Amino acid sequence: MVWGNRIFSSGALMLFMERQEHIHIVAAGEKMEAACAAAVRDLQDITRIVIFADTEIFTNTSRDSEEVKTHKDAVREAVTEAKAHAATLNIPAILVYIAPPAGASVAAAVQKIKRESPGARFTFDLSGGSKDLAVALFQISLWLGGGAYYAFEGRKGTVGPAEKLAVPAIPLKEIAANPNYMRILAVLAGTPGKNDTAPRVLPRSYLFTQLEAFYVPVKKSGVKMNVSKTKTDAVTGKRAAIPVLSQGTFSSLLTTLASADLVQEVPGPAGNRKEKYYRITASGTLALQLV
């Protein structure tokens, strides 16, 4: 399998090595080679791959059935192929054995990696390995703030591509308590019930106009009011001046949503570098569904 063309000159290699280290931890499974290939293609800045494998996969016993033997052989072959492909891309790949209980072993192994690579960024693929290994890696990913990926099984046993698991960086009650967050997410999500093939990508200026008329100040003091425009208060029934949404406040709202991985800034149409564009993420979509 071809993972992509990653050939570096000496100067480019030096620049590559100076970047923040990105360690991608993969749970060993039968189809992990394809998962590693996809990760290298999509994440692009991976500098090291660490394969976590249950010790029993590399241990033969007289109690193993033919089915178990076949499974172990397939996983071992996948590990070998993944390491070989990584070598062709100048990406170091090592194998770490995880003994039960998986929780303690995974924590100890990751702690060792962190000591050896302080400041490294981590991502995780939980698709392979045992349930205990997957849960342990997911738990560690929450503590390290590293993205966790999983390939869910589809109909008739088919396995789809690994998707980033939606993990909240802001408590759901805080998202729901700010109607401005909800308005921005709803606009990016599009028409309720409509299954678009791809998330909407909208310019910042459009999002601003969509929020401006519905803006609700969270702070009670220091809010400017537009006295030339009024709206009816839903509680009192009286006319009141409309609060003014400043560009600074709007930027703060977008920054908070982006830092929480609820929205993502993306490239706009070719040739338009002045305007910023945004899309909702899997976490943002899930937040809307759960509120």
Residue 192 is predicted with a pLDDT of 54
Assigned CATH class of 10-164:
alpha beta
Contacts of residue 100, defined as CB under 8 A and 6 or more positions apart, other chains included, come to 55, 132
> DSSP letters of 212-270?
HTT---SSSSS--EEEEEEEE-TTT--EEEEEP--HHHHHHHHHHHHHTTSEEEE--ST
**3-state SS record for 186-228:** HHHHCCCCCCCCCCCCEEHHHHHHHHHCCCCCCCCCCCCEEEE
| Mean pLDDT of the region 258-274 | 84
| Mean pLDDT of the region 51-78 | 94
Residue 69 is predicted with a pLDDT of 94
Residue 220 is predicted with a pLDDT of 58
Which H or E run includes 75?
helix 66-88
Residue 282 pLDDT greater than 70, yes or no: yes
Q: Could you read off the pLDDT of 205-232 as tens digits, one per residue? A: 999 999 998 898 876 555 566 555 666 5
Do residues 185 and 287 lie in contact, with contact meaning Cβ atoms separated by under 8 Å? yes
Percentage of residues of the chain with pLDDT beyond 90 = 55
Radius of gyration of the chain, Cα coordinates, nearest whole angstrom:
24
Looking at per-residue confidence, does 230 or 282 come out higher? 282
Residue 8 is predicted with a pLDDT of 43
158 band by pLDDT with thresholds 50, 70 and 90 = low
To the question of pTM greater than 0.75 for the whole model, the response is no
Q: Could you read off the pLDDT of 16-43 as tens digits, one per residue? A: 445 689 999 999 998 888 888 888 888 8
Do residues 91 and 47 lie in contact, with contact meaning Cβ atoms separated by under 8 Å? yes
Q: Could you read off the pLDDT of 54-67 as tens digits, one per residue? A: 999 999 999 999 99
Residue 267 pLDDT greater than 90, yes or no: no
Residue 2 is predicted with a pLDDT of 44
Kind of pairing between the strands at 163-164 and 147-150: antiparallel
The Cα 187–Cα 180 span in angstroms is 11
Ranges 109-113, 165-169, 226-230, 255-259: which has the least confidence:
226-230
Q: Which CATH number applies to 172-290: 3.40.50.300, 1.10.10.10, 3.40.50.970, 3.40.640.10?
A: 1.10.10.10
Dihedral-angle region of residue 177 (phi above 0 means left; psi in -120 to 50 means alpha; beta otherwise):
alpha
Q: What residue ranges do the domains of the chain occupy? A: 10-164, 172-290
Helix (H, G, I), strand (E, B) or coil at 157: helix
| Mean pLDDT of the region 68-93 | 93
CA angle 212, 215, 219 (to 5 degrees): 135
The Cα 184–Cα 208 span in angstroms is 9
